[in-house]
A and B are shown apart, each in its own frame.
Chain A
């Protein structure tokens, strides 16, 4: 968490192998990604990272299931059955054949989450994933994150929303590109999640 310009998105971009640090090093799964070339970063991002965006960034002319399959195509092999299961996991099995324009914001974000999860990434990166959602959909998305966390997925989320920040196991506060606070919320983690998902 942190104010605008504090470096939250830059940090997400660097962890997501979409940007490289000007100084220092970033170790991801034992690899210093600050030293990798563009092609290696693409491969690492494809194999280990799942991305969730505030604006969802779904391809407008592809259906929900096809949007999920695009991520499969660039990872390995498209499998419609598997893509359908991913959509079912986020509660959108009956909306799979709809175009993004026919889906609500919350549904689009859930397609985005299904797309991020389809290749079983080690890390899920979310840049303001609830920033464009109403409270009800925010609750649904946070609940999905909880279930994914329970399944062992590492989730890193950038947010302005203190309520979303409170449900994290660990909260890091950035200011002007520096960590100003690193709070372990393990003790209240489960409780806050329940409160959030039932609100």
Chain B
């Protein structure tokens, strides 16, 4: 009888129920879209921020100490080097998938054909390799210096006889693309002139093997620049960054298995011999700040849409109950307890809400993809946990929206509606 009454009520009151379902669809679709974007936006924002360069730098521990103590870096600061053969191991760490791009760097200096000493930078301009896992790797400095303005062209992967010259040095020495220069007596062709906007503009860039030969440092690198997708800092990450050994076993496991920049640095140090990995503060903090603010915005929109839905549902349910007060009063007169009447009305609303919720969820996924395509140019990955969160929000929004109607129902006296008193 219960379900028969509910079914017939839903059919008879389909206009109002459709309005309630429509309200739920709007609220749920917005919440679903916002939460999916919120949960999927981390990687997207990180990828957007990748244009600001590496967010982790790896140095030999001696060089890192000099950098920490005196802020020194570059050629001659330390005579200790990292091993080039370790560089590809970056992709083998637990968070290897989050390592987007990296490039080893070797600092050096040489005498130019005019007799002056110039700073050199050796790197992988581009690197293509097949990892032991079978994964194809495409990385290098070109992927890390997306903001460089280059006249001429970038160095190729095996372009050991060519160099790129920083635009300040090129201007000072009158070097042009296609010119030939000598470094320590060895001839190189200028393949391109680059504008970095920083200190590199006074350097000459060459392939890593070329500089290693020139400096007689075969297999050595000074630093490794790494771009990684990271999770914003929280208290656990801060505590771990100070001293991972201060963590309890459970905290350590959580931290190690979360893509905090400190956890990734820790894992990098496990594979790079004598290496000390440090986050580049400005980039790491920008990522965290932007992510936190974006998340806050999404949460606020979700809360506001939920409140809006609850208010709209409240009005619709109350109107429906007042319209049916004679029928509901009759049920009381026939012996229904208050909770039985409330159950009846709540069941009707919950069924309507559930139908609206399912439709709203799929509509929300569509909205999320539109946002993903419009803002980030890619699809948002659907998070299954959103289903649970939306279900909980829907339940409480519908319940809260029903409160005024429930109060009206419990106060309703059969005599007032049956005898017109």
Residue numbers of A with Cβ under 8 A of B are: 9, 13, 16, 18-19, 38-39, 42-43, 45-47, 51, 53, 55, 57, 59-62, 66, 69-75, 78, 115, 119, 127
Contacts and interface: CB of A to CB of B under 8 A. Distances in A.
Contacts of A62: 4-5, 8
A70 B12 contact: no
B56 to A, nearest CB: 68
Task: List 7 A-B pairs, minimum CB-CB distance, nearest first.
Answer: A46-B335, A73-B1, A74-B335, A78-B1, A74-B336, A61-B12, A61-B8
B411 to A, nearest CB: 11
B335 A71 contact: yes
A127 B335 contact: no
Nearest to A75: B335
B97 interface: no
Given A19-B413, A74-B336, 7 more contacts: A53-B419, A57-B326, A57-B418, A61-B9, A61-B11, A62-B4, A73-B1
Contact of B419 (A13, A42, A59, A69): A13
A16 to B, nearest CB: 8
Nearest to B337: A42
A51 B332 CA distance: 12
A43 B5 CA distance: 22
25 contacts: A9-B419, A18-B333, A19-B413, A19-B415, A42-B336, A47-B335, A51-B333, A53-B418, A53-B419, A57-B330, A57-B418, A59-B5, A60-B12, A61-B11, A62-B5, A69-B1, A70-B1, A70-B331, A73-B1, A73-B2, A74-B331, A74-B334, A74-B340, A115-B334, A127-B419
Nearest to A44: B335
B173 interface: no
Interface of B: 1-2, 4-5, 8-9, 11-12, 326-327, 330-338, 340, 413-415, 418-419, 421
A132 to B, nearest CB: 13
Nearest to B419: A9
B399 to A, nearest CB: 23
Contacts of A51: 333-334
Contacts of A47: 335
A42 B326 contact: no
Nearest to B11: A61
B65 to A, nearest CB: 78
A13 B418 CA distance: 10
